[in-house]
Amino acid sequence: MCQAVIVVPCYNERERLDVEALRRFSGEHPEILFLLVDDGSTDETGALLDRLAAELPRTVRSLRLPANGGKAEAVRAGMLEAGRSEAPLLGYWDADWATPLEEIPNFITLFRENPGLEVVTGCRLQRLGSEIQRSLVRHLIGRVMATIFSLYLKLPVYDTQCGAKLFRRETAEQLFAEPFVSRWLFDVELLRRMPRDRARRVVYEFPLSIWRDVGGSKLKMRHGFRILLALWRVMRHYR
């Protein structure tokens, strides 16, 4: 039985997607289904995803979107499609595997051991015993933005932007029902869509053991102003 469907948004990932890691993990975990979403790529990403789905029909599906709509809507389209399955858990994972695929079973175990949990999200907390590889500049800017997001949400959240999240089906259906306001900050919007007292009870930030900043990220330092503008739009929409 499929335990979880993991949506992987892909935009021009032909050269960066670690296909061998996916093949290896899928062979070891046939209970986890991957839905690879081509977000209107301009390279050969779509063809690669289709080939993977044909090669691994039990554990991989592909979905092509007609045009690039940004990560937020690529994830949302994938989650809506994933909802057609009978899997009790639906989530999304960044295509660079910055969060190793091997963390997925740990997320699933948390749901199994804690029936009250509705959302598990990765947390890139640098601590003794972990291997969180991130440039100093990105780390510092990330901490500033994370603090701003936490103050806005009025929640003690450490890392809203980690691209590894898993939801119970019913919660995912609620949170992804409507389009997002922002292409950049949909992770913040997801928490904003939950009543604050409920989020405190049912969301768990899972400290990752390993996270590596992979080259080729679409997000650059110069996008800081756009992120602040996106936050203003989110605040205006949800006030």
Q: What is the mean pLDDT of each run of 10 residues along the chain (239 residues)?
A: 96 96 97 98 97 97 96 97 97 97 98 97 94 85 91 96 97 97 93 98 97 68 75 93
Q: In this predicted structure, what is the pLDDT of residue 220?
A: 53
Amino acid letter at 55?
E
- The DSSP line for 57-86 is TTTEEEEEESS---HHHHHHHHHHHHTTS-
Q: In this predicted structure, what is the pLDDT of residue 224?
A: 67
Which H or E element spans position 90?
A: strand 89-93
How far is it, in rounded angstroms, from Cα 171 to Cα 237?
Answer: 21
**Closest to 118 in 3D by CA, of 189, 159, 171, 157:** 171
pTM (2 d.p.): 0.94
How far is it, in rounded angstroms, from Cα 133 to Cα 139?
Answer: 9
**Closest to 101 in 3D by CA, of 60, 44, 63:** 60
Q: What does the CA dihedral 46, 50, 52, 56 come to, rounded to 10 degrees?
A: 150
Q: In this predicted structure, what is the pLDDT of residue 83?
A: 96
